[in-house]
């Protein structure tokens, strides 16, 4: 049995977004009032939604109490940020954390938000990924979105240590969890894994000491991916160091 829809009077109105001719309801019940013309300018989805003819005799503009909330499948932090950005001529999102940027980027995709706005959050994600060694997070996220262009941008920022070592995976509010290479790699779509190996692998590097790499070995510790190991030695695959080339050649469609 579904839960009854809460009465509008029992819902909390956002402390800042409390005026406008349209009412949006976040998934946590918070109500946001906004100007419909701003939403129509910023989003194709909202533009089509607000073109729906109103019943005959409807007054324009209606008072806030007469507006019926429109349920939006997003949390209040995402709606708050979206409305903040579309309400100013030159948005500043330098304070927005990595996870929230990812969430609002998905919101922008879903609601067909104009590229001038959506691209701000993509750039912010890439900037934070570079600063905090979160290239794997962006690459995995790009795979979930099937966004090859974003994947190439993440690969271009990649380093040997990040690729074969650990990375910061967002957990909860922004708590990092270290994941080994294969756990990261296996989160990519199968065709992406094949395409990535085609452009990343350099040459085999067998019988490398598990405890200390011999100086004469052609496979440095920062360039190898273990594929089989025991107490004495392990087999490994050597990877390229030219990440710009990896990015340009990465093509899952041809895998």
Please give the average per-residue pLDDT across 236-254, as a whole number.
88
Indicate the average pLDDT of the chain. 81
Does pLDDT of 219 surpass 80?
no
pLDDT cut 70: percent of the chain above it: 71
Does pLDDT of 100 surpass 70?
yes
Residue 255: what pLDDT?
66
**Tokens of residue 97, six digits:** 């954390």
**Tokens of residue 124, six digits:** 């912010």
Q: Name 236's bridge partners.
A: 205, 226
Residue 42: what pLDDT?
95
More confident residue, 171 or 99: 99
Does pLDDT of 216 surpass 50?
no
Residue-wise pLDDT for 51-83, tens only, equals 755 555 555 556 667 788 999 999 999 999 999
Residue 213: what pLDDT?
46
**CATH architecture of the region 1-124:** 2-Layer Sandwich (3.30)
Radius of gyration of the chain (CA): 24
Residue-wise pLDDT for 163-208, tens only, equals 887 544 444 445 445 467 888 999 999 999 999 999 998 665 555 5
pLDDT band (50, 70, 90) for residue 226: low
**5-14, 112-121, 214-223: range with lowest mean pLDDT:** 214-223
Task: Give the list of residues 6+ apart from residue 228 with CB closer than 8 angstroms, or none.
Answer: 234, 235
Centroid of chain to Cα 44: 21
Task: Give the list of residues 6+ apart from residue 238 with CB closer than 8 angstroms, or none.
Answer: 201, 202, 203, 204, 205, 218, 219, 223, 224
Does pLDDT of 215 surpass 90?
no
Does pLDDT of 146 surpass 80?
yes
Q: What does the DSSP 8-state code read for residue 20?
A: S
Does pLDDT of 49 surpass 90?
no
CA distance 252 to 221: 28
Residue-wise pLDDT for 1-40, tens only, equals 344 455 666 679 999 999 999 999 999 999 999 999 999 9
């Amino acid at each position: 049995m579904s839960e009854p829809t809460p009465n509008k009077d029992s819902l909390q109105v956002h402390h800042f977004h409390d005026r406008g001719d349209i009412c949006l309801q976040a998934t946590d019940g918070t109500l946001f009032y906004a100007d419909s013309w701003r939403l129509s300018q910023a989003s194709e989805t909202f533009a089509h939604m607000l073109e729906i003819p109103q019943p005959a005799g409807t007054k324009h503009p209606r008072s806030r109490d007469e507006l019926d909330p429109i349920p939006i499948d997003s949390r209040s932090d995402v709606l708050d940020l979206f409305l903040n950005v579309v309400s100013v001529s030159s948005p500043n999102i330098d304070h927005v954390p990595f996870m929230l940027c990812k969430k609002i980027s998905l919101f922008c995709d879903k609601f067909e938000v104009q590229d001038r706005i959506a691209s701000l959050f993509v750039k912010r994600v890439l900037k934070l990924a570079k600063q905090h060694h979160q290239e794997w997070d962006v690459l995995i996220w790009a795979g979930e979105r099937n966004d090859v262009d974003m994947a190439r941008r993440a690969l271009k920022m990649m380093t040997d240590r990040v690729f074969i070592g650990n990375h910061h995976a967002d957990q909860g509010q922004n708590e990092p969890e270290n994941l080994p290479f294969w756990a990261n790699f296996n989160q990519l779509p199968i065709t992406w894994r094949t395409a990535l190996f085609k452009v990343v692998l350099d040459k085999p590097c067998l019988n490398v000491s598990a405890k200390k790499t011999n100086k004469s070995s052609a496979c440095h510790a920062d360039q190898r991916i273990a594929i089989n190991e025991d107490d004495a030695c392990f087999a490994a695959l050597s990877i390229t160091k030219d990440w710009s080339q990896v990015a340009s050649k990465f093509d899952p469609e041809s895998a």
